[in-house]
Chains A and B, each alone.
Chain A
Amino acid sequence: DGGITQSPKYLFRKEGQNVTLSCEQNLNHDAMYWYRQDPGQGLRLIYYSQIVNDFQKGDIAEGYSVSREKKESFPLTVTSAQKNPTAFYLCATSGQANEKLFFGSGTQLSVL
C-alpha cells in the first residue's frame, strides 16, 4: 500500500523534553518536507530535504532538527528550545522540488 506514514497520530510533550515525529514514505520520492499548522492558519515550512543526507531550513526552523539518512525516512525532532510546540505537524513528499505534494495524515503535538 503506497503512501506516507506519520506516527504517532497524537503526541504529548513535557516541558524540557525532546520528542521525535516519524515520517516514512514508500513512494520513492526524492523530496520530503515538514510543515507546522496552527489553528486557523496556513502551513509553514519547518525543514525540507531534496536528497538523502541533505536538508535545508524552512521559514520556522528554530527549535527543530531533522535528519535524512535514508530516502524513505525524514524524522523531525521538536527540541526543548521550541517554546510553543503545540500544533498540527504535517509531513509531505514530492517527486522533485516544486512538484505537487503528497501529505501524511499528520501528528497533533500538545504540551502537558
Chain B
Amino acid sequence: RKEVEQDPGPFNVPEGATVAFNCTYSNSASQSFFWYRQDCRKEPKLLMSVYSSGNEDGRFTAQLNRASQYISLLIRDSKLSDSATYLCVGEASYGNKLVFGAGTILRVKS
C-alpha cells in the first residue's frame, strides 16, 4: 500500500464550481501535511500547509481527519487558472522525510 494515496482524477468542473479532493495516508504518527500545486512541466509550489484545526486561505480550505487518516482540499468558486495537478504530502513511516501522493488532476472549463 502506498503511504499517501490520491484519486488521480481528472476532475472536470465548470468555472464557479466547488470541488474537493481527498488524500489518505498510512503513517498515523505523521505531523506534517501539505498541499502543493504543480503545473505541467513545472516545479511544485506550496499551496497550503494543513493544520490539525483546519485552515483556510481565500477560496482554499484544507482539513485533517486523524480518525480516518485523510486530508482534504476544498476549492470554492473554481477559476480557469486553478487547472493543475494537486499533490498531497505527508510524513513517511520510516526515515525523517516527506512522501508525495501521485497527484490529482483538476481541469476547470468555461
Contacts and interface: CB of A to CB of B under 8 A. Distances in A.
Contacts of B91: 98
B98 interface: yes
B11 to A, nearest CB: 15
Interface in A40-56: 41-43, 45, 48, 50, 56
Contacts of B98: 98, 101
Interface string B80-110: 0000000101010001111111110000000
Contacts of B55: none
B34 interface: yes
A61 to B, nearest CB: 12
A34 to B, nearest CB: 12
A21 interface: no
Interface in B25-58: 31-32, 34, 36, 41-46, 49
Contact of B34 (A56, A100, A103): A100
Interface of B: 31-32, 34, 36, 41-46, 49, 87, 89, 91, 95-103
Given A42-B100, A90-B44, 13 more contacts: A41-B102, A43-B44, A45-B97, A45-B99, A97-B96, A98-B97, A99-B32, A100-B32, A101-B44, A105-B43, A106-B41, A106-B43, A108-B41
